[in-house]
Structure 1
Amino acid sequence: MNIRRTGQGMITASMIGGMALLTYFFSEFEDGKNNPNRSPETQVFANSIEVALQRNRQGHYLVGGQINKKEVIFLLDTGATDVVIPESTARALRLPYGRKGLAMTANGSITVHETRIRELQIGKIVLHDIKASINPGMSDGAILLGMSALSQIEFSQSGSTLTLRQKFI
């Protein structure tokens, strides 16, 4: 009788373990479709660096990158004046809070805090001293990569590929 219970327990444990593995692999698969640019492809040339990004299923360009050497996810947003960071992410990144200001969003006017990003990196493209805003009303998730960063590089789109290019002087 104890052997039978032990056998049934092992079968149950195996089924639970199998379900957990399937859940893990399926979530990784879904994450890859949502952000096909977790580790973006970089090409280094004599006078520039290029990073090619693929559009996700929703038509957006998400990309893995770094702020001050800490891993983050960016959502490219040419409609955003600054790089916009959710407050909880800004705290985790230990970004300094500057003066308060007003920002216009799709949901109306909000109060934000100015901040500076010492180093922002996408692939091998590295930008320094980037103006950013900390948004207390923004839910956790991707950081909006706005024009305060994008204006320092060239970008062009062809089909579903967006190429970021940093030229050397």
Structure 2
Amino acid sequence: MQTNPHSKLGKGMMIAGWAIALLILTSIFAKFESSQNNPNQQLEVTQTVNGEVQVHLKRNRYGHYVLTGQINQKDVTFLVDTGATYVSVPEAVAEQLGMIKQGQGYVQTANGTVTVYYSTIRQLTIGDIELYDVPANINPHMDDDEVLLGMSALKHVEFTQRGNTLILKTSS
């Protein structure tokens, strides 16, 4: 019994088509999931009549404010944390950013007391808001790549929450 060579080719093409369709669907789902966690990948920035810059952040589906910003002109993902005294950078991210450890200390976290390293962020950018020489810590105990945007940065801006929106504004 002979097999039709066109039949094998047809089966191969069908398998390849399904594989490509699955790859496309996986990519679409990954982008959707990313936008659900960080709805602020493209920041909404406005300016008041007084020249103050405002950055409008949308709350994600978990109730947090996650946004894309920059540390030392490199993109990072921030999680707004008004309970954190300092901007807290995971050690792996700090190494990528070229941050320098300037001494060791201890901080109290939800998981207990942990050792961190003090550092300074030369430039921290949120939309059109730029902050300089922001005290930070490098935390070797943080497993993910989100940087906690703590009060050492947030104290330089006014912030107001209205519904599901957090507005950061440069101080007058």
Give the TM-score normalised by the residue count of structure 1.
0.96
Q: Among residues 31, 40, 43, which one is paired with 2:43 in the alignment?
A: 40
Letter in 1 for 2:35: G
Letter in 2 for 1:118: R
Distance in 2, Cα, partners of 1:18 & 1:78: 43
Provide the identity percentage: 45
Structure 2 partner of 1:64: 68
Distance in 2, Cα, partners of 1:39 & 1:17: 29
Letter in 2 for 1:31: S
Secondary structure in 1 aligned to 2:132? strand
Unpaired segments ≥5 residues, structure 1: none
Does the 8 Å CA contact 2:56/2:168 hold for their aligned counterparts? yes
Letter in 1 for 2:135: K
The answer as to 2:116 corresponding to 1:112 is yes
Larger radius of gyration between Structure 1 and Structure 2: 2
Distance in 2, Cα, partners of 1:95 & 1:151: 21
Q: Among residues 7, 30, 34, which one is paired with 2:33 in the alignment?
A: 30
CA drift of 1:47 comes to 2.5
Letter in 2 for 1:7: G
Q: Among residues 46, 51, 54, which one is paired with 1:50 in the alignment?
A: 54
Letter in 1 for 2:68: G
Secondary structure in 1 aligned to 2:9? helix
Letter in 2 for 1:39: Q
Deviates more, 1:17-26 or 1:27-36: 27-36
Does the 8 Å CA contact 2:156/2:171 hold for their aligned counterparts? no
- Give deviations 1:24-45, integer Å, cap 9, x for gaps: 0011111111111111100123
The answer as to 2:141 corresponding to 1:141 is no
Structure 1 partner of 2:94: 90
Letter in 2 for 1:147: M
Distance in 1, Cα, partners of 2:108 & 2:16: 53
CA drift of 1:141 comes to 2.4
Letter in 1 for 2:46: Q
Secondary structure in 1 aligned to 2:25? helix
Aligned residue pair count = 168
The answer as to 2:8 corresponding to 1:5 is yes
Does the 8 Å CA contact 1:131/1:148 hold for their aligned counterparts? yes
CA drift of 1:167 comes to 3.1
Does the 8 Å CA contact 1:47/1:167 hold for their aligned counterparts? no
Distance in 1, Cα, partners of 2:32 & 2:145: 18
Distance in 1, Cα, partners of 2:13 & 2:47: 53
